[in-house]
Structure 1
Amino acid sequence: MATSMDLIKPLVTLVAIVNPLGIVPFFIHYTQGYSHAQRQRTARVSALSAFLVISLSALLGQQLLNFFGISIASFQVGGGLLLLISSLSMLNAQPAEAKGSAEEVRATEAKAAMGASIAVVPLTIPLLTGPATISTMVIYATQSRHWWELGLLVGYGVVVAVISALTFSLADPISRVLGKTGINVMTRLMGLILAALAVEVMATGLGKLFPILERAG
């Protein structure tokens, strides 16, 4: 039977990965020249898109693994490694999902200049919800034994979306109060938490792939 700590762990992991506070500088950068109403709309669309990515990953993750013939243990090891890499980026005060090349960044900025929406790309994908977020939701979805546990994961997607929307809506005052140093400190703290969770996920997967490791522990 799942304990309360087991139930809350996916939410802690999600908040650490998504880390909307660390994306505030990017939100301000990409919405320069926007009116207040346009910024608020961008925040809402980005939050809704993040919820859709999280919920679809939770609901369809198992089916995707079955389709490609990937074992849960292998995905846990791979997903945990991806989380660990993301946490290392955050410990260097970089967003967990910000992995685009210089060419991709320039292309995105060119699209924004042409009037294309930036709420989905790059704010939602890859800055808020990228491969690490998707992997995390798939891993926790495969560990769910009851329909209400899957529903809880979707509910956590709502919580993360609300946090993201509120953070982006208050981007300017947050940036003024915390400053770049404060945001970097928060990002590093989230990275440390994520690193510990990543090691735990990888250890679980390795224990299933190599039972001798579990016996040795």
Structure 2
Amino acid sequence: MTELPALIAAFTTLFIIMDPPGLAPVFIALTQGMTPSQRRVIAVRACIVAASLLMLFLFVGEALLGFIGISMDAFRIAGGVLLFLTALDMLFQRRQARRADNAAEGQAEHHDDPSVFPLALPLIVGPGAITTVILLAGNSPSAADYGAIAGVVFAVLIITFLSFLAAPVIERVLGKTGLNILTRVLGMLLAALAVQFVMDGLRGFGIGA
């Protein structure tokens, strides 16, 4: 995991799953009417909560699977299927519609502070991000590998934070068409990564080369 190609693959997977550019319009919707300083506070709090949740799953997620009797190979297959479904949602634009629904629900229930719900959970740290972190941890035998994954997580969260701050600019530059194209391209990459997770899991059971 500490090799550069593995780090790039881990970063790419988490970036696609968390999709910072795709979260920018949702952040705008959730913080309508707020001042720039209020938006910064919301962005910081959301990213801190998301980081805490992802670190929790990074360090205890695999132990939790062992406690309930689920092997990492089985989780790789299940996780790959889940990520593939997420990729399909991105390709067919169902993901953004669901995020908009979550955003509307969170705005109705927590109008003054959407940082924890729905921003941190489930928009930033959704099932796909949780699955990805646990899968990466399962491929990481050393403390250095765990540190590398944590660094990747923080790097993606920093990009997410910057996307929140630059959300109005991103929306203007890309436009609706640009965001749709970007989402579909990322969805294709995620589909390929999901298939790789499934193949790795099958090899663990002695199926396939």
1:185-196 equivalences in 2 (<5 Å): 185-196=181-192
**Match runs of 1:199-210 below 5 Å:** 199-209=195-205
Deviations 1:24-70 (A, max 9, x none): 11111111111111111111112222222222211111111111111
Q: Distance in 2 between matches of 1:137 and 1:107?
A: 27
Match of 1:161 in 2: 157
Q: 1:121 aligns with which of 96, 117, 128?
A: 117
| Residues 46/101 of structure 1: CA separation in 2 closer, same or farther (3 Å cut) | closer
Kindly, what percent of the aligned residue pairs are identical?
35
Give 1:59's aligned residue: 59
- Aligned partner of 1:173 in structure 2 is 169
> 1:21 is matched by which residue type in structure 2?
P
Could you list the runs of 5+ residues in structure 1 that have no partner in the other structure?
none
- Output the CA distance in 2 between the equivalents of 1:139 and 1:32: 36
The Cα shift of 1:10 comes to: 1.1
**Number of residue equivalences:** 209
Q: Which residue of 1 aligns with 2:129?
A: 133
Matches of 1:150 and 1:50 in 2, distance apart?
A: 17
Matches for 1:1-217 after TM superposition, within 5 Å: 3-95=3-95, 99=98, 107-113=105-111, 115=112, 117-209=113-205, 211=206, 213-214=207-208, 217=209
Give the unaligned 5+ runs of structure 2: none
- 1:28 aligned partner, one-letter code: I
Q: Deviations over 1:124-154 (max 9, x none)?
A: 2111211111011101101111110001111
Provide the alpha-carbon RMSD of the alignment. 2.0
What code does the residue aligned with 1:188 have? R
Distance 1:105 1:24 in 2: 12
Letter matched to residue 164 of structure 1 = T
C-alpha change, 1:85 and 1:156, in structure 2 (3 Å) is same
- Hey, what's the Cα distance between the residues in 1 that align with 2:29 and 2:174? 17
For the Cα contact (< 8 Å) 2:26–2:100, is it kept in 1?
no
Structure 1 residue 120, shift from structure 2 partner: 1.6
CA distance in 1 between partners of 2:41 and 2:47 (Å): 10
Give distance in 2, aligned partners of 1:53 and 1:158: 12
1:110, 1:43 → 2: CA distance?
19
Give the letter aligned to residue 106 of structure 2: T
1:2: how far off? Answer: 6.5
Decide whether the 8 Å contact of 1:55 with 1:153 is kept in 2: no
TM-score between the two structures when normalised by the length of structure 2: 0.92
Letter in 1 for 2:85: I
Distance of aligned partners of 1:143 and 1:165 in 2 relative to their CA distance in 1, 3 Å threshold: same
